[in-house]
Homo-oligomer: A and B are copies of this chain.
Amino acid sequence: MNKKLRKDIDFIITNTIKEVLPDEAVEKALKNFSYGNGKIVLVATGKAAWQMANAAKNSLKRVDRGIVVTKYEHVKGIIEGIECYEAGHPIPDDNSFKATEKALEMVSDLTEDDTVIFLLSGGGSALFEVPLIPGEELQDITKQLLASGADIVEMNTIRKRLSKVKGGRFAKACAPAKIFSIVLSDIVGDPLDMIASGPAYPDFSTCADANAIVKKYNLKLTNKALELLNQETPKELDNVETHIMGSVRELCKAAAKYSETLGYEATILTDELCCEAREAGSFLASIAKSAVKTGKKKAYIAGGETVVHLTGNGKGGRNQELALGAATQISGLENSVAIASVGSDGTDGPTDAAGGYVDTDTLQELNNKNIDVYKVLENNDAYNALKEVDGLIITGATGTNVNDVAIILIDN
């Protein structure tokens, strides 16, 4: 093993994950926040709402009032001056509706001098909701959509119009106050109109889209619901400033930043990686093989989420398979090349490792232990193979979950 490269990878990964933890993400985003003359109202929803609100409360000089709407058992204590509510997830319940109504009340009397700090994380779709139709009717429509095979975009196009807060309507409710929105993204590509159904983001779907979906799936709706589908959602929101934090894009940016700290010239290849894990490893190795010829000290970053098609019953995860898939191809390259991949939550597959590390020595080290990489991959047993050559990356549970990042280091 190239100990220098292993040390560099560990440094980059440790610091990269730190930057996408909810606390750090909120803190970092709030550096862009400028205090106005008016009130500061904090509204946090999603699975990480309590943690984000707590971090914001600690960072901000003052909060005039605030509310947290999170999942059951996700309130970790009292935050002074902030009302904390727990509610149903993934199915919204009465507590979701009641708490969200309270949030709407809290922003109902604001002026243009006031600011709403809106903290959004995954799970907000269920937690942050006030339906414009009775709860049972909404449930029935959701069931019809699920049974019809409608995709998530189609489901949201309908649901946004039946909601008092989704599809940018919460932002409208806050107007004329400004909204400073901090989003922890858990969806690759950061579709802001999709994350928690975009309470503070313009909706790009139209009433015509909604009606077409009703026709396509022959949905049975009440007149009230049909009428609501024809009420347009906001297409522009002038009062919202959005900061996407802790997304896989942020993860990639942080990995690039810390690679550059160590003197590597960094390139982000993609933050929407989607590919069979071991083949992503091969592709990254192909890039490494060309890049070593430049004679420069380089880093390449790819973020996203690969997939594994199981063919065996070994132990491993997609990040470990990616690394092992790269090992065969970079073996013996004259220049020093390392490839590592980790899940930002610290858990790669059903293992205690966050991911895997390989370099130009790994294949030889495996061979020396009579481990055949091809057989290992066939049995999806990357964990046990990498363990033998100190190729596991162990971080423990990190407290965040913004997909995976793979890193190539070339130490020319």
- Give A contacts to B, CB under 8 Å: 189, 268-276, 279-280, 282-283, 285-287, 289-291, 302, 304, 329
Give Cα distance in the complex from A310 to B274, angstroms: 22
A275 and B279 contact, CB distance less than 8 A:
yes
Of the candidates B270, B276, B283, B285, which one forms a contact with A289 in the assembled complex, judged by CB atoms under 8 Å apart? B270
B290 and A271 contact, CB distance less than 8 A:
yes
Q: With a CB–CB cut-off of 8 A, which chain B residues contact A275?
A: 279, 282-283, 286
Q: With a CB–CB cut-off of 8 A, which chain B residues contact A289?
A: 189, 270, 272
Give Cα distance in the complex from A276 to B302, angstroms: 18
A274 and B329 contact, CB distance less than 8 A:
yes
Q: With a CB–CB cut-off of 8 A, which chain B residues contact A302?
A: 286
Q: With a CB–CB cut-off of 8 A, which chain B residues contact A268?
A: 290
B286 and A274 contact, CB distance less than 8 A:
yes
Shortest Cβ distance from A273 into B: residue: B286
**A275 → B minimal CB distance (Å):** 4
Q: With a CB–CB cut-off of 8 A, which chain B residues contact A291?
A: 270
Of the candidates B270, B279, B282, B285, which one forms a contact with A290 in the assembled complex, judged by CB atoms under 8 Å apart? B270
Of the candidates B270, B285, B286, B287, which one forms a contact with A286 in the assembled complex, judged by CB atoms under 8 Å apart? B270
Some 22 contacts from A to B, beta carbons below 8 A apart, are A189-B289, A268-B290, A269-B269, A269-B286, A269-B287, A270-B287, A270-B289, A270-B290, A272-B286, A273-B283, A274-B282, A274-B286, A274-B329, A275-B282, A275-B283, A275-B286, A276-B279, A276-B282, A279-B280, A279-B282, A280-B283, A286-B302
**A189 → B minimal CB distance (Å):** 7
Q: With a CB–CB cut-off of 8 A, which chain B residues contact A269?
A: 269, 286-287, 290
Given A269-B269, A269-B290, A270-B287, 10 more A-B residue pairs with CB atoms under 8 Å apart are A189-B289, A270-B289, A274-B282, A274-B285, A275-B282, A276-B282, A279-B282, A283-B283, A286-B302, A286-B304
Q: With a CB–CB cut-off of 8 A, which chain B residues contact A279?
A: 275-276, 279-280, 282-283
Give Cα distance in the complex from A286 to B247, angstroms: 16
**A223 → B minimal CB distance (Å):** 33
**A185 → B minimal CB distance (Å):** 14
One complex includes copies of this chain to the number of 2
Give Cα distance in the complex from A270 to B268, angstroms: 15
**A216 → B minimal CB distance (Å):** 14
**A54 → B minimal CB distance (Å):** 32
Q: With a CB–CB cut-off of 8 A, which chain B residues contact A285?
A: 274
Q: With a CB–CB cut-off of 8 A, which chain B residues contact A287?
A: 269-270
Q: With a CB–CB cut-off of 8 A, which chain B residues contact A280?
A: 279, 283
Q: With a CB–CB cut-off of 8 A, which chain B residues contact A276?
A: 276, 279, 282
Give Cα distance in the complex from A23 to B269, angstroms: 36
Q: With a CB–CB cut-off of 8 A, which chain B residues contact A272?
A: 286, 289-290
Give Cα distance in the complex from A102 to B195, angstroms: 75
**A285 → B minimal CB distance (Å):** 8
Q: With a CB–CB cut-off of 8 A, which chain B residues contact A189?
A: 289
**A237 → B minimal CB distance (Å):** 19
| 7 closest Cβ pairs, A-B complex | A279-B279, A275-B282, A272-B289, A270-B290, A270-B286, A283-B283, A273-B286
Most B C-beta atoms less than 10 A away, residue of A268, A283, A329: A283
Shortest Cβ distance from A277 into B: residue: B279
**A118 → B minimal CB distance (Å):** 23
Give Cα distance in the complex from A289 to B286, angstroms: 20
**A403 → B minimal CB distance (Å):** 12
Q: With a CB–CB cut-off of 8 A, which chain B residues contact A304?
A: 286
Q: With a CB–CB cut-off of 8 A, which chain B residues contact A282?
A: 274-276, 279
Give Cα distance in the complex from A43 to B291, angstroms: 33
Q: With a CB–CB cut-off of 8 A, which chain B residues contact A290?
A: 268-272
Give Cα distance in the complex from A274 to B279, angstroms: 9
Give Cα distance in the complex from A262 to B280, angstroms: 30
